[in-house]
Structure 1
Amino acid sequence: MDVQSASSVVLQALTQAASQDTAVLKPAEQQLRQWETQPGFYTVLLSIFNNHMLDVNVRWLAVLYFKNGIDRYWRRVAPHALSEEEKASLRAGLITNFNEPVNQIATQIAVLIAKVARLDCPRQWPELIPVLLESVKVQDVLQQHRALLTFYHVTKTLASKRLAADRRLFQDLASSIYGFACSLWNHHTDSFLQQIHTGDQLSTLSSLERTLLSLKVLRKLTVHGFGEPQENMEVMGFLSAVFERLKQFLECCRLVGPGTVCREKLEKTIILYTKVLLDFLEHHPYPFIPLIQRSLEFTVTYVFTEVGEGLVFERFIVQCMSLIKMIVKNEAYRLEKNIEESKAEILEAHQIKSAFFTPPTLTEIGKRLVSKYFLLTEEEVSMWEEDPESFAVEETGGDSWKYSLRPCTEVLFLDIFHQYSSTLTPVLLQMVQDLQGPSDVDDPVQLLLKDSVYNAMGLAAYELFDSVDFDEWFRNQLRGELQVPHHRYKVIRRRVIWLIGQWISVKFKSELRPLLYEAVLSLLQDPDLVVRIETATTIKLAVDDFEFRTEQFLPFLQSIFALLFQLLQQVTECDTKMQILHVISCVIERVGTQIRPYVGCLVQYLPVLWKQSEDHNMLRCAILTTLIYLVQGLGAESSNLYPFLLPVIQLSTDVSLPPHVYLLEDGLELWLVTLEYSPAITTELLRLFQNMTPLLELSSENVKTCFQIITAYMYLAGSEFVQSYGETICTSFCDLLKDITIEGHVQVLKVVEVSIKVSPALSSQAFQSVLPAVFRGVLDGERYPVVMSTYLGVIGRVLLQNSSFFKSLLMQMAMEYNKEMHHLLGDMIEMWVDRMDNITQPERRKLSSLALLSLLPSDNSVIQDKFCGIINICVEALHDVMTEDPETGTFRDCMLMSHLEEPKLSDDDEPPTEQDKRIKLLALQDPVHTVSLQQFMYEKLKAQQLLMGDGPFQALMETVDAEIVRQLQEFLKGL
């Protein structure tokens, strides 16, 4: 593409692509996409975005197209890659001028240059860094800023490369330019510190921006540019200077009023200094050791003494606390159990920390954390009043401690308390002692302080296990505080019920639970919503605890459940509804069937909530979880929910609908439990299975649950299900078996085995496409024992329960292998006998024995030839399944089941599901549990003797080892 002739056409296309009119915009975008692979296109784009006379939006688009082109076509191996000549020309053009007037475009150009540098610097672009270094020295303010901006983005990009060779190149670069980068930073910093006193805001802001950029460069070079930074005096000198510079910049906060652009940039720079220290500590913990003392002195002075008053701001406090936390808890500084074995560096770090964290210092830090930073702020108190739900469910988990002050102070408190509990425990207990007894409701300071102290007692619960008699404290103090009704005392009521929740799993006697449930009952009716929500959370902790006893909870169940349901209706935010639903789910799960009398109101409300939550998939996930526990609690009665339940499952598991992305996992779980507890199949439940084929095609991590659902349908609907969907399932299974793990093979074949067990005739027919592969697996001696065992289970079922189909399958396989049927059968029996040890379950071993015995009596010479092997495995199976009556000396088959047998349930056992009952009924029809192996073997041997005559039969028996015959006679005596 000729630059002169092409420039106007590309410019016109970019102008149209910047239009708001889609009729103009779409064709232009399409045209630009076609040009992306044309030689010269990026040269034209470069000339367009470098032309400051053109429209800003058009230039912006030109930069974006150029940037996207680097990702797609800059690498040599890329399809339609740019030529080396054009790339060389573009590289030269990108660094000819740093005078872009529009800041946003300048940033994009800097990022664009960095992308090219990632691929080409330094080998194909050795001149980039020298040009940047020269450009940041020029006097022109704009050029200097743009060059510095580019320098930063290039440094940041090169520092992010992780291959060893790339890291070595970056380290070479860092060592060659570090001194210059330091002097650049010092120069701009000094300029800013001078100008801030002049009152010239524009010059001050310009200097501050260049200070910030040069510091960003230094941060990347310092953290990622040196393998052994402690050996470089310039690096350690810069890090040491950081503390002094931080003090100077913090003092500047007095001169710059809040809410200005300059103040915002100033705070950004201060935070960047702390990031330098945090990053260096994270990546170089041992080289950081000489900086531990100064870091602790600096952070503790500014955060825990009056020095920081009026200077520090929230983000800075968070960074300082993070630095203290990382020093206190750093794994690299952990002493070995045998201190003498610890490295010298670790011992040095430990000594510095021990010398700094003296009892007086720790006491001051502990007291300040609790009495200053734990206090509810004015903003939090206002939020409590104005938006109680957001206050009650405010997110404090995950990495929030890195960014938010409250979680940060709490995490720091916990880490320091854990490390220095012997010093801090008496301090905290004294603070509790000073606040004993009800607080004055007219003294808000005392109320907030007690709230903070109780917060500390909850956070440190595990550390205080041996120092606090929580049961006594609950009885004598806390319980009484929950009963103070004054509206200002809600702060303490909410904190105490939270505190109890923290201690429940640590130290709370079981016999005190009823007193807690009484308190909970009262607090669920508290006038304050935050107190009620906090109480609900404590209920979840109480019922989800190992020491929970259903019988203690039952007297309160009806009232607590009704109040929780009332709370669910009262709250309006999705997050709050989810939180309360999780509590309700937990209660239903723990009390099981005892919930049945009380769920009517919830059952009526959930469809309403489901409809309201159409745009809130996470709330719908919580509803699905609640429904899972509800179905388990209601058992067979859950069929009354089907008008609501089945459409919910339908929507959640339909992969053609967008919500399935969020709802599928819980939806499948709900589908499964619905089937397990269903008393009988319904047309709607059967129709729901139409969602399954697309799910199996997904082959996702949910495929195991899908197999469980198919199996549940087999047990529930038997022949009707196999008749409706057997062939569809078989087609899906055939596709799955081509590309599935060994475990997946086993899962598929277990489903097939259950199907044959449920409906031998229909299932053999339905799964006839799968069975040849199973037969081949047996004949070829499948090498994985667990797969071979499953293969033999499936073939054993077909042979024993559908012998006519087995014959047709044998005929099909004989044609495939080009062998006589009886010879192929002989090969199969031989492999079966040989691999019998692969079968570990006694039920399957008995099944194999019954299946092979079913071939007798036979005058087939091949079967008679394998007679010895058949008898051997049957005697082995007899050893597995026969038990001897010590009184009579006779044997009986222990696998035989009777209708009269009812398993005795202990208190901890779950009552059987409807599916458990169906499995039991199916077992009562299964030959494995209805046919005595001893009797069956006796009858088959008698029939064989009758067929052959005594002499030939005796000769046949003589092929069996004499010891095996003796054991067999022992088992068969008395028959």
Structure 2
Amino acid sequence: MDIDGASSVVLKTLTHATSQDTTVLKPAEEQLRQWETQPGFYSVLLNIFNNHMLDVNVRWLAVLYFKNGIDRYWRRVAPNALSEEEKTTLRAGLITNFNEPVNQIATQIAVLIAKVARLDCPRQWPELIPILLESVLKGQDALQQHRALLTFYHVTKTLSSKRLAQDKRLFQDLASGIYSFACSMWSHHTDLFLQQICARDETAAMASLEKTLLSLKVLRKLTVHGFQEPQQNMEVMGFLNAVFERLKQFLDCCRQIDTGSTCREKLEKTIILYTKVLLDFLEYHPCAFIPLIQCSLEFAVSYVFTPVGEGVTFERFIVQCMNLIKMIVKNDAYKPAKNIEDSKPENLEAHKIKTAFFTHPTLTEIGRRLVSHYFLLTEEELTMWEEDPESFAVEETGGDSWKYSLRPCTEVLFLDIFHNYGQTLTPVLLDMVQNLHGPINVENPVELLMKDAVFNAVGLAAFELFDNVDFDQWFKNQLLGELQVSHHRYKLIRRRVIWLIGQWISVKFKSDLRPLLYEVILSLMQDPDLVVRIETATTLKLTVDDFEFRTEQFLPYLESIFGLLFQLLQQVTECDTKMQVLHVISCVIERVNTQIKPYVGCLVQYLPLLWKQSEEHNMLRCAILTTLVHLVQGLGAESKNLYPFLLPVIQLSTDVSKPPHVYLLEDGLELWYVTLENSPAITPELLRIFQNMSALLELSTENLRTCFQIVNAYLYLSPTEFLQNYAESLCQSFCDLLKDITNEGQVQVLKVVEIALKVSPILGAHMFQSLLPAVLRGVVNGEVGCPSNRSCAHNYPQSESCNYGK
């Protein structure tokens, strides 16, 4: 491609590619796709996005095409790879200037350079880092310095992410060479920012803060990934110790800057980045972090659990501090071995520091503060309860939410501290419970919120409190009374108490108290408040899903509770809530099994409507499939009455040509198999959906075993009719399958053929005869295992103990 002549043509095509008119856009995209492999194309793109006079959208598109081209054509071994000569020219052109005026394009160019650096630096591109450092240090203006620093960060970030041993060594060499420079750059911009913010020069302070943020990002990657034994590097440990002082300075700055301003937002982002440096270093280098344990605990505890943090802390910072405390408390490297003599010196040192810090008064204060301050429902949460009760009731608190959200973070920290220091904290919590014994003033919101918080703590710590709380007596003497207070403001406590019971069900709850609990559940399922009803349903699931569940105790309440569950399913409108209620219904049906038959009529009528309404919500449809599985098992042979709804659902869920199968396949196959298991006889419609099986067998996925079970079920139900309709396609599928699957899979195929021969010897032998020669060759050659069900250690026919085939 002639660069000078092609520039105008490519520019015109890129301009068309930014059009909203598809008749102009599509041909332009196709033309650009054809040029991707043409020599010189990326040099033209470089010229275009470096030309600041051109339209921003065109330049943006040129950068994106260049960036995508790196992934596809930059490696030497890639098809249509760029020539070494062109790559040399491109590398030189990418770092000739750092003066991009548009922030978004500057970021994309920095990412683009980092992608090239990942593949070529330092061997093919040794000049990259020196040029970046020189531009950062001696840039002609603030813009050039910022763009070079931005690029330096993205290059550092990308190189630090490489995980091969040789790449790690190269990054460590780089880190040791530039660490001093990075530290001085960070320190310079930080001091400049602090001076400017004190002088109330917010515009200049913003520019310095941006450079502080970028240089800190560089230091984070160098510190965490650039040193094998960072504790032996004075500069690294000096930087980490300086982080605490800088954090205090930046938090003090929060008092001077209005909340909501751009500068405050950037300042908070920088504060969070400082905490990430500590958290990352702790995660990757726990032993090197030991000298920092004392400072970290003093800093985090003072800002989160004492008045020091008042007026300067914000939610995300509190979460980060709590995570720092949690990781130190929980870290196995900071605990002695069971046999003290086997402990490493560093383990004992860390344990000694923690023991000295977590004194009785400190733990007491942390425990009380967690419960009495951080466990209290906030104004935002109470507003959500009133305005969006379903979102409040099913708010996600699982997974990694504790890393980012305050409530799950406080609860996880409470549990970890309680687990490690339960001997100290148990009397503290029990004292808080005792102080709330008896009725409280429903007009006093503070008392209500405090009782809710304390009950929350007792529920979370249920396993830790096993030996200290007589829950059965507490349930009878106090909790039942709490549930009988019908005042509308007391819904906080009704909801919390039924949740609390759910937490203790599997810990300590006498079996003979279950009927009393079912009466409570029956009452609360009719509570005026939706959140209370949803929480009650969740506790019901925990109750029936427990090892101590006895069906005979539950049967007197089954009809009423099941009816109320169905009402709740109809009342809620959000997908997540419907899924949650469906899981409860599924669990109840599964546990009572066939005794559910008299009560499922309404549910059977409602599920087709719900299936139709959930067309855009595949996860809800998964919940419906699970419910149908248990429903079919509960109804047994009577499930044939569901076929007009059931079979189209199975058909859709197992059709690999339809997009929903990605979500529905596993549950759909289980439903298909359960339907066959409980079918009194084959029907034409049930036979017809086997047309989906050939494509499923081609997938050879983890669902193959279920597919074989389905085939076997058809063979047992109606061997003649099934084989006449599908043996030919099944035989072809098996022939293809045997080439690609493991020995275990081949044995499963042969078991299916064995069943076919047993249930219909003449027809089976005729239908599968084309498969048998290949099978026998495989067996003789030792490629296919013995299909017999016996525990045979040999391959047929060598096994003398196996009569299969004789």
- TM norm. shorter chain > 0.5: yes
- For residue 735 of structure 2, what is the aligned residue in structure 1? 734
Deviant stretches of 4+, over 3 Å: 773-778, 781-784, 788-793
- For residue 942 of structure 1, what is the aligned residue in structure 2? none
Amino acid of the residue matched to residue 107 of structure 2? T
Q: Residues 727 and 768 of structure 2 are in contact (CA less than 8 Å); yes or no, is this contact kept in structure 1?
A: yes
Q: Residues 711 and 754 of structure 1 are in contact (CA less than 8 Å); yes or no, is this contact kept in structure 2?
A: yes
Provide, for residues 470-493 of structure 1, a one-character-per-residue CA deviation record: whole Å limited to 9, x for no partner.
101001011111111111110000
Q: How far did residue 705 of structure 1 move?
A: 0.6
- For residue 686 of structure 1, what is the aligned residue in structure 2? 687
What are the within-5 Å matches in structure 2 for residues 843-862 of structure 1?
none
TM-score (norm 1): 0.81
Amino acid of the residue matched to residue 700 of structure 2? S
Q: What's the secondary structure of 2:718's corresponding residue?
A: helix
Determine the C-alpha separation between the residues in 1 that align with 2:538 and 2:215: 49
Q: Residues 76 and 82 of structure 1 are in contact (CA less than 8 Å); yes or no, is this contact kept in structure 2?
A: yes
Q: How far did residue 200 of structure 1 move?
A: 2.5
Determine the C-alpha separation between the residues in 2 that align with 1:256 and 1:449: 33
- For residue 108 of structure 1, what is the aligned residue in structure 2? 108
- For residue 546 of structure 2, what is the aligned residue in structure 1? 545
Determine the C-alpha separation between the residues in 1 that align with 2:618 and 2:290: 49
Determine the C-alpha separation between the residues in 1 that align with 2:757 and 2:452: 65
- For residue 452 of structure 2, what is the aligned residue in structure 1? 451
- For residue 38 of structure 2, what is the aligned residue in structure 1? 38
Amino acid of the residue matched to residue 786 of structure 2? V
What are the within-5 Å matches in structure 2 for residues 14-33 of structure 1?
14-33=14-33
Provide, for residues 305-346 of structure 1, a one-character-per-residue CA deviation record: whole Å limited to 9, x for no partner.
011011000000000000000000012223211112111111
Q: How far did residue 201 of structure 1 move?
A: 2.3
Determine the C-alpha separation between the residues in 2 that align with 1:14 and 1:192: 41
- For residue 70 of structure 1, what is the aligned residue in structure 2? 70
- For residue 154 of structure 1, what is the aligned residue in structure 2? 155
Q: What's the secondary structure of 1:447's corresponding residue?
A: helix
Q: How far did residue 81 of structure 1 move?
A: 1.9
Q: How far did residue 579 of structure 1 move?
A: 0.3
Q: How far did residue 217 of structure 1 move?
A: 0.5
Provide, for residues 191-214 of structure 1, a one-character-per-residue CA deviation record: whole Å limited to 9, x for no partner.
110111223222111111011001
Q: Residues 775 and 791 of structure 1 are in contact (CA less than 8 Å); yes or no, is this contact kept in structure 2?
A: no
Amino acid of the residue matched to residue 118 of structure 1? R
* 2:46 aligned with 1:82: no
Determine the C-alpha separation between the residues in 1 that align with 2:627 and 2:192: 63
Amino acid of the residue matched to residue 625 of structure 1? T
Q: Residues 524 and 536 of structure 1 are in contact (CA less than 8 Å); yes or no, is this contact kept in structure 2?
A: yes
Q: Residues 589 and 633 of structure 1 are in contact (CA less than 8 Å); yes or no, is this contact kept in structure 2?
A: yes
Determine the C-alpha separation between the residues in 1 that align with 2:51 and 2:133: 24
Q: Residues 375 and 453 of structure 2 are in contact (CA less than 8 Å); yes or no, is this contact kept in structure 1?
A: yes
Q: How far did residue 636 of structure 1 move?
A: 0.6
- For residue 232 of structure 2, what is the aligned residue in structure 1? 231
Q: What's the secondary structure of 2:769's corresponding residue?
A: coil
* 2:799 aligned with 1:835: yes
Determine the C-alpha separation between the residues in 2 that align with 1:730 and 1:657: 25
Q: How far did residue 746 of structure 1 move?
A: 1.3
- For residue 957 of structure 1, what is the aligned residue in structure 2? none
Q: What's the secondary structure of 1:196's corresponding residue?
A: helix
Q: What's the secondary structure of 1:294's corresponding residue?
A: helix
Q: Residues 734 and 770 of structure 1 are in contact (CA less than 8 Å); yes or no, is this contact kept in structure 2?
A: yes
- For residue 626 of structure 1, what is the aligned residue in structure 2? 627
Q: What's the secondary structure of 1:688's corresponding residue?
A: helix
Q: Residues 774 and 791 of structure 1 are in contact (CA less than 8 Å); yes or no, is this contact kept in structure 2?
A: no
What are the within-5 Å matches in structure 2 for residues 489-888 of structure 1?
489-776=490-777, 780=780, 782=782, 787=786, 789=788, 835-837=799-801, 839=802
Q: How far did residue 788 of structure 1 move?
A: 5.8
Q: How far did residue 776 of structure 1 move?
A: 3.8
Unaligned runs of 5+ in 1: 794-827, 840-844, 853-975
- For residue 121 of structure 2, what is the aligned residue in structure 1? 121
- For residue 4 of structure 1, what is the aligned residue in structure 2? 4
Root mean square deviation, CA, Å: 1.6
Q: How far did residue 380 of structure 1 move?
A: 0.1
Determine the C-alpha separation between the residues in 2 that align with 1:70 and 1:782: 47
Question: Structure 1's 147 and 775: CA in aligned 2 closer, same or farther, altered over 3 A?
Answer: closer
Determine the C-alpha separation between the residues in 2 that align with 1:623 and 1:97: 59
Determine the C-alpha separation between the residues in 1 that align with 2:385 and 2:507: 29
Amino acid of the residue matched to residue 127 of structure 1? E
Provide, for residues 21-74 of structure 1, a one-character-per-residue CA deviation record: whole Å limited to 9, x for no partner.
121122222222222222222222111111111111111111111111111221
Q: Residues 743 and 783 of structure 2 are in contact (CA less than 8 Å); yes or no, is this contact kept in structure 1?
A: no
Determine the C-alpha separation between the residues in 2 that align with 1:320 and 1:686: 61
TM-score (norm 2): 0.98
Q: How far did residue 80 of structure 1 move?
A: 2.0
Determine the C-alpha separation between the residues in 2 that align with 1:721 and 1:646: 17
Q: Residues 655 and 692 of structure 2 are in contact (CA less than 8 Å); yes or no, is this contact kept in structure 1?
A: yes
Determine the C-alpha separation between the residues in 2 that align with 1:692 and 1:576: 34
Provide, for residues 157-208 of structure 1, a one-character-per-residue CA deviation record: whole Å limited to 9, x for no partner.
1111111111111111111111111110011001110111223222111111
Q: How far did residue 792 of structure 1 move?
A: 13
Q: Residues 230 and 236 of structure 1 are in contact (CA less than 8 Å); yes or no, is this contact kept in structure 2?
A: yes
- For residue 219 of structure 1, what is the aligned residue in structure 2? 220
Q: Residues 231 and 237 of structure 2 are in contact (CA less than 8 Å); yes or no, is this contact kept in structure 1?
A: yes
What are the within-5 Å matches in structure 2 for residues 225-374 of structure 1?
225-374=226-375
- For residue 820 of structure 1, what is the aligned residue in structure 2? none
Provide, for residues 382-425 of structure 1, a one-character-per-residue CA deviation record: whole Å limited to 9, x for no partner.
00000000000000000000000000000000000000000000
Q: How far did residue 461 of structure 1 move?
A: 0.5
Determine the C-alpha separation between the residues in 2 that align with 1:375 and 1:461: 19
Q: Residues 777 and 788 of structure 1 are in contact (CA less than 8 Å); yes or no, is this contact kept in structure 2?
A: no
Q: How far did residue 139 of structure 1 move?
A: 5.1
Q: What's the secondary structure of 2:199's corresponding residue?
A: coil
Determine the C-alpha separation between the residues in 2 that align with 1:650 and 1:3: 56
What are the within-5 Å matches in structure 2 for residues 446-485 of structure 1?
446-485=447-486
Unaligned runs of 5+ in 2: none
Q: What's the secondary structure of 2:646's corresponding residue?
A: helix
Q: How far did residue 777 of structure 1 move?
A: 5.0
Q: Residues 747 and 787 of structure 2 are in contact (CA less than 8 Å); yes or no, is this contact kept in structure 1?
A: no
Amino acid of the residue matched to residue 23 of structure 2? A
Determine the C-alpha separation between the residues in 1 that align with 2:249 and 2:582: 52
Q: What's the secondary structure of 1:136's corresponding residue?
A: helix
Determine the C-alpha separation between the residues in 2 that align with 1:132 and 1:773: 65
Determine the C-alpha separation between the residues in 2 that align with 1:92 and 1:379: 54
Deviates more, 1:560-569 or 1:67-76: 67-76
Q: Using the aligned pairs only, state the percent identity.
A: 79
Q: Residues 751 and 787 of structure 2 are in contact (CA less than 8 Å); yes or no, is this contact kept in structure 1?
A: no
Determine the C-alpha separation between the residues in 1 that align with 2:730 and 2:610: 35
Q: Residues 73 and 81 of structure 1 are in contact (CA less than 8 Å); yes or no, is this contact kept in structure 2?
A: yes
Q: What's the secondary structure of 2:187's corresponding residue?
A: helix
Determine the C-alpha separation between the residues in 2 that align with 1:490 and 1:207: 51
Question: Structure 1's 465 and 790: CA in aligned 2 closer, same or farther, altered over 3 A?
Answer: closer
Higher-Rg structure is 1
Determine the C-alpha separation between the residues in 1 that align with 2:376 and 2:224: 36
Determine the C-alpha separation between the residues in 1 that align with 2:365 and 2:652: 58
Amino acid of the residue matched to residue 302 of structure 1? Y
Amino acid of the residue matched to residue 194 of structure 2? L
Amino acid of the residue matched to residue 799 of structure 2? R
Determine the C-alpha separation between the residues in 1 that align with 2:348 and 2:630: 54
Determine the C-alpha separation between the residues in 1 that align with 2:374 and 2:280: 25
- For residue 924 of structure 1, what is the aligned residue in structure 2? none
Determine the C-alpha separation between the residues in 1 that align with 2:333 and 2:683: 63
Q: Residues 749 and 791 of structure 1 are in contact (CA less than 8 Å); yes or no, is this contact kept in structure 2?
A: no
Amino acid of the residue matched to residue 375 of structure 2? F
Amino acid of the residue matched to residue 245 of structure 1? R
Determine the C-alpha separation between the residues in 2 that align with 1:499 and 1:665: 34
Determine the C-alpha separation between the residues in 2 that align with 1:749 and 1:4: 67
Determine the C-alpha separation between the residues in 2 that align with 1:623 and 1:791: 38
- For residue 99 of structure 2, what is the aligned residue in structure 1? 99
Provide, for residues 574-631 of structure 1, a one-character-per-residue CA deviation record: whole Å limited to 9, x for no partner.
0000000000000000001111111111111111111111111111110110000000
Deviates more, 1:75-84 or 1:373-382: 75-84
Deviates more, 1:468-477 or 1:687-696: 687-696
Q: What's the secondary structure of 1:734's corresponding residue?
A: helix
